[in-house]
Amino acid sequence: MDTHEASLRERVTTALANKRQLVNIQVATDRFFSGRLNALETLPHADAMRDLARAIRAHTISRLDEYLLQFEQAFTALGGVVHWARDAEEARQIVLRIAQDAGVSRIAKSKSMVTEEIALNAALEASGLQVVETDLGEYIAQLSGDRPSHLLAPVLHLSRQDVGRIFAEKLHVPYTDDISELTAIARRNLREVFLAANMGITGCNFAVAETGTICLVTNEGNGRMVTSLPRVHVVIMGMERIVPTVKDLGVMLQLLPRSGTGQKMCSYTSLVTGPRRRGDPYAPQEMHVVIVDNGRSKALAGDLAEILYCIRCSACLNACPVYRTIGGHAYGGVYSGPVGSVISPVLGGLAAFPDLPHASTLCGACKDACPVHIDLPTLLLRLRRDTVQEGLSPAWTAAGMKGYAWVTRRYGRYRLLTALAGAVSRLARGRWLTWLPGPLGGWTRYRAFPPFAPETFQKRNRGGRHE
Partner 1 sequence: MNEAREEILRRLRSGLRVGLLPGAAAEHPVLAFATQEGGAERFTIELEKLSGRVIRAQTRQDARRTVVDLFAEYGWKQALVWERTLREHPGLTEALQQAGVSLLTSGEITTLSHAPVGITGAQAGLADSGTLVLQNLPGQPAPMSLLPEVHVALLSARDIYPNLQNYLDALDSPAGTVSASSNTVFITGPSRTADIELSLTVGVHGPGKLVVILWDSE
Q: Footprint of partner 1 on residues 114-153 (CB under 8 A)?
A: 134-137, 140, 153
CA distances (Å), 385 to each of 154, 189, 350, in order? Answer: 32, 50, 11
Does 375 sit near partner 1 (CB under 8 A)? yes
Cβ nearer to partner 1, comparing 79 with 422: 79
Cβ nearer to partner 1, comparing 302 with 391: 302
- Paired residues of 106 in beta bridges: 130
Selected binder of partner 1 within 17, 44, 128, 457 (CB under 8 A): 44
- For residues 213 to 242, the per-residue mask of contacts with partner 1, x marking binding by CB under 8 A and - elsewhere, is x-----xxxx-xx-xxx---------x---
Cβ nearer to partner 1, comparing 176 with 444: 176
| Dist. CA 432–CA 388, nearest whole Å | 31
Candidates 178, 160, 158, 162; CA nearest to 170 is 162
Stretch 56-75 residues interacting with partner 1 (CB under 8 A): 56, 58-59, 61-65, 68-69
Cβ nearer to partner 1, comparing 45 with 409: 45
The one segment of 116-124, 210-218, 359-367, 442-450 that binds partner 1 by CB under 8 A: 210-218
CA distances (Å), 192 to each of 99, 106, 133, 179, 200, in order? Answer: 20, 11, 13, 20, 14
| Dist. CA 82–CA 290, nearest whole Å | 6
- Paired residues of 215 in beta bridges: 206, 271
- For residues 423 to 452, the per-residue mask of contacts with partner 1, x marking binding by CB under 8 A and - elsewhere, is ------------------------------
List the alpha helices (DSSP H) in 239-358.
Answer: 246-260, 296-300, 315-319, 321-326, 337-348
Count of CB atoms situated within 10 Å of the CB of 217: 20
Nearest approach, Cβ of 446 to partner 1 (angstroms)?
29
- For residues 404 to 423, the per-residue mask of contacts with partner 1, x marking binding by CB under 8 A and - elsewhere, is --------------------
Does 55 sit near partner 1 (CB under 8 A)? yes
Whether residue 338 contacts residue 358, with contact meaning beta carbons closer than 8 Å, is answered with: no
Nearest approach, Cβ of 162 to partner 1 (angstroms)?
9
Stretch 159-188 residues interacting with partner 1 (CB under 8 A): 159-160, 163, 179-180, 182-184, 186-187
Q: What are phi and psi of 328, to 5 degrees?
A: -80, -35
Stretch 262-301 residues interacting with partner 1 (CB under 8 A): 263-277, 279-283, 291, 293, 297-301
Sign of CA dihedral 295, 299, 300, 301: positive
Does 19 sit near partner 1 (CB under 8 A)? no
Cβ nearer to partner 1, comparing 76 with 456: 76
Q: Distance from CA of residue 55 to its chain's centroid? A: 22
Cβ nearer to partner 1, comparing 152 with 359: 152
Sign of CA dihedral 111, 112, 117, 121: negative
Candidates 266, 218, 242, 245; CA nearest to 109 is 218
Stretch 313-332 residues interacting with partner 1 (CB under 8 A): none
| Dist. CA 404–CA 282, nearest whole Å | 69
The one segment of 120-128, 203-211, 344-352, 400-408 that binds partner 1 by CB under 8 A: 203-211
